Amino acid sequence: MFRPENRRETLSLIFGIALLLAGVGLLLTGFALAFGIASNPSGYIQSQIPPSAQQNATQGPRASFTFTITGLSVVFADGSRQGDAPIVSWDWEFGDGSRSNQQNPQHVYATNFTGFVRLIVGDGNGKASSAVGSVQAFPGADSQGNSTVDPGDLAGNIDLGGAFRPLVDLLVAVSAMIATFFMLLIMWLVGASITKAGWNLIRPRPETIRIRIKPKHLEAEPVLPDAMAVAATGLPPPPP
């Protein structure tokens, strides 16, 4: 084991151990988060989806009615369906300026009438719905009819936010997963760097010895070929 021999080496050992512990802790935390996500990916995705708005949590009523025309007299019968709360109000508009708050009213027109009758119902949760019916009342008329959905009420009940909410929730969840992936990647890289730095501070180092070599001027004596070698080559001997 590395034993510090001076103050500088002691501080290096302390900082090295601290960095090593911090790096290992960061790595373990990253692996724990990654394991938790990998073991239950669907639960993680659901946890990243924001709760849906509660403004449309309750179901409202659906207005509808039938009517029977006998001459200038028209008998209306409410056929509305309640939502999550009972219907508590009925508002009839007969088209000639007259109104009624009865559930099943009867109205007599003063003159021939051709137009629309509107029914607006409201429940205990404050939700409302309306329906319209085309009425033709005149002497001798004898017919029946049903209401249709009020175009204004249909347009008002269109919830674009509710239609696009699943797509928005999916995009939010995917973005959260991508951000989490990069967070874990950065956490692992930082943890590995800290761990390596700490280990470099505390690991044993081999002792080094510095040697400085100074060159010396050496003189070499020339080596001359002997007579037998010259005779073997056939070359003339060198001058003395």
pLDDT at position 29:
85
pLDDT at position 107:
95
Q: What pairing do the DSSP bridges indicate for beta strands 73-78 and 65-70? A: antiparallel
**What type of residue is 232?**
A
Euclidean distance between CA atoms 110 and 96, whole angstroms: 9
pLDDT at position 106:
95
Euclidean distance between CA atoms 141 and 71, whole angstroms: 4
DSSP for 24-52, written as a single string: HHHHHHHHHHHHHHHH-HHHHHHHHSPPP
Q: Rounded to 5 degrees, what are φ and ψ at 122?
A: -135, 145
Residues of the chain with pLDDT under 70: 1-9, 41-57, 152-166, 168-169, 204-240
Q: Look up residue 95 and give its DSSP letter.
A: S
pLDDT at position 143:
92
pLDDT at position 55:
43
Is the CB of residue 147 less than 8 Å from the CB of residue 93?
Answer: no
Euclidean distance between CA atoms 233 and 89, whole angstroms: 136
pLDDT in tens, 62-115: 999 999 999 999 999 999 999 889 999 999 999 999 999 999 999 999 999 999
Picking from 168, 149, 167, 165, the residue whose alpha carbon sits closest to that of residue 56 is 165
pLDDT at position 30:
80
